[in-house]
Structure 1
């Protein structure tokens, strides 16, 4: 019950703490906020001084005038703290004393009015300057820390209570107390209920502001944590998949998916087992990282999305999670440039890595599969199965790019009419219907494709 009430009032607390780099960024932002608070308070004291300077000085004490001194002291304090905030990140004890000093100086300024104008102490209880208390309290919301809002509110409530008690003491009893509202407004009489209302208002405003800031703070921290999780997730899956997962209107459940017409490409490194035998695990990892970095740049260039890594193999989709009206042609261009990249690049540790590609176009299902507690976001369907079977068939034909008829038919212009070798109708393993397939090579598209080759190289 206690937990439910707390969550109802203050919002749901973030489940995890923020990384240190984010906490440091928030601290820097709060430091900037303290500077902003200092500038606003400097503006306020300037307004105080200006109003005092232009106000008529009638019926004033001919001797000591405390208001200018109080204003000067407050200006000096505000200016000093503002200058200090630009030199250091003000620690909590300094901020605490600063908040108390702000309110105390304001109360001293209000208290000095009855001396300045030679009136009974009850005179200052009706000073409109009291309204600045709420400005000082609300200024603390700029720091995004409810503790200092509550501290300012508590200081103001106690400060005003002290002023009321001083009035009662200075008047020597209850002679100035009245229950008549008209008398209260038209004289220096004291209406206890009015002063209690002011204190209650200070406390309520401070409490509401503190709750609002705490709720916003918790929402902000949850949002930052989720944003960091999404950024980290995009390092393990594609940005498009991460965005789809984190921005879904409803929580993704097993079996959720949609049917789209897309192109699927499977890639695999030729003779990777042989390469692995000659390298240490560290060297192999370095080579693979270099290879994936280079091929990922090509895939991204043509709008492809790496949906899945599996060892040295990749599952790449076009128009599955990112719109691409020319998905078939872009998949072929990706395969051609990857082949060119592998032919012309020597990866670290002397690695030459040739890549086989199998490509197919058709209807697929894009979505999540697995259990409630463990999901994977992938694509599946007959189109995917055919693309997966075409990739190893390259070994049979001595090729590096095999494409189904449905994909070749999507190619436009010269890319569609030249550079293709028909390999007949092949019944791939696991299917009864034959699939017309074609092979191609980047060398056969020099007149069409060469201008688009990036010539990516790596050390």
Structure 2
């Protein structure tokens, strides 16, 4: 098949096929098209009300001896437009109805133009000189609001067919009072037809139709790609914090491994006690159900306290405070979140039992604050946005220390004092100076946040 034939088929089916798109993207496109149809309906209603008002207040044209069809045409079009607009809010208008709407639009316009020679008692060539033909471009332009070349093409072709029908009727209506001329003055001042003028009008309508169809042919492809990219960006915001997602999607240049910046932040680690051994005795779907309940609870607490989840590590959670968004209370927020996580887990035991956890679910959490590097790591083919620094390692080791210290939430003395200076209102539960923590060379002054 030639490229021209493929292009024609592409336009006739309305652009790229939706068969290869995910269901949610197809639904988004359908919603956008339905919204476009409602917009078209409102534009049509606005136009008919504007022209009705203009007709009501404008001085009447003189020389009218016959029946005036204009108010009846405006009323019919008003009723049709209101009906179509109401239906567009209740249903998704099928394509056949949209095609019928196009034929109704053009039929009313062509019929109105045809009525002028009856209204003014003139030869049919009279209506060929009416400026009302220019309203055709309004209907063609309105169809472009949907970003579907088929309907623009249909509107233009129906308009051309209607106009050629008017020209044909004028030619055959009364030959003894009409003649074809090449004289422009005779054309304007008498009952004569200038074939070149009618061809010019026809070609202009066709040219505008084709240009808009080609533009929409390209624009519809971009719409599909933009819709897919929008869906991907929305998904990205579910995998990353809003600030991280925005830094990825709004970056002026393509992100590369090694890009980053340093910030003062607090790092929170949390995980479920005895998760590996317990989950080995459960069905996979039960394990995932419990994890979902726990993670939903934990994320809610972390976000409410101003933190952002950096990543899920199986049953573990790494959250940051002040790393991706500036904060003057990052340490205080992180310690409040750690204490609340332990408290919330204790209060939500029924939730975990109903999900399938066989016994009391306990968690451990720890916080450490300090300078961290926030940025992109990985290779050319796969990148990851993460935080790196001593505070991250310390938080992980302090969380492991909960098992030895028989606690549920730990931090170090420097982080606790920093949090107090930032407005932390948690009481000092217990201090354990000079504690040995696995993986750390020097003893650590621990502060217990929850036991």
TM-score, structure 1 normalization: 0.79
Q: What stretches of structure 2 of length at least 5 have no aligned partner?
A: none
Alignment of 1:7-406 (within 5 A): 16-17=21-22, 19=24, 20-33=26-39, 35-36=41-42, 39-40=45-46, 42-43=48-49, 46=52, 50=56, 55-58=60-63, 60=65, 65=67, 67-68=68-69, 72=72, 75-76=75-76, 79-80=79-80, 82-83=82-83, 86-87=86-87, 89-170=92-173, 172=175, 175-180=179-184, 182-277=185-280, 279-346=282-349, 347-348=352-353, 349=357, 351-406=359-414
- Whether the 8 Å contact between 1:386 and 1:428 is mirrored in structure 2 is no
CA separation in 1, counterparts of 2:348 and 2:112? 78
Distance 1:251 1:441, change over 3 A: same
The superposition leaves residues 343-376 of structure 1 with CA deviations (integer Å, 9 ceiling, x where unpaired) of 4442314532322223222222222322223222
CA separation in 2, counterparts of 1:440 and 1:17? 49
SS for the counterpart of 1:248 is coil
Structure 1 runs of 4+ with >6 Å offset: 9-15
CA separation in 2, counterparts of 1:308 and 1:17? 26
Distance 1:434 1:185, change over 3 A: farther
SS for the counterpart of 1:154 is helix
SS for the counterpart of 1:249 is coil
TM-score, structure 2 normalization: 0.81
CA separation in 2, counterparts of 1:320 and 1:221? 35
Q: What corresponds to 1:450 in structure 2? A: none
Distance 1:2 1:379, change over 3 A: farther
CA RMSD for the aligned pairs? 3.7
CA separation in 2, counterparts of 1:354 and 1:362? 27
CA separation in 2, counterparts of 1:99 and 1:343? 64
Q: What corresponds to 1:424 in structure 2? A: 434
Distance 1:437 1:364, change over 3 A: same
Distance 1:48 1:371, change over 3 A: same
SS for the counterpart of 2:150 is helix
Q: What stretches of structure 1 of length at least 5 have no aligned partner?
A: 444-459
The number of aligned residues is 431
Distance 1:368 1:91, change over 3 A: same
CA separation in 2, counterparts of 1:130 and 1:344? 73
SS for the counterpart of 1:330 is helix
Distance 1:42 1:17, change over 3 A: farther
The superposition leaves residues 234-287 of structure 1 with CA deviations (integer Å, 9 ceiling, x where unpaired) of 333434433332232223233332222211122222222343355443333333
- Whether the 8 Å contact between 2:45 and 2:81 is mirrored in structure 1 is no
CA separation in 1, counterparts of 2:93 and 2:362? 59
- Whether the 8 Å contact between 2:410 and 2:449 is mirrored in structure 1 is no
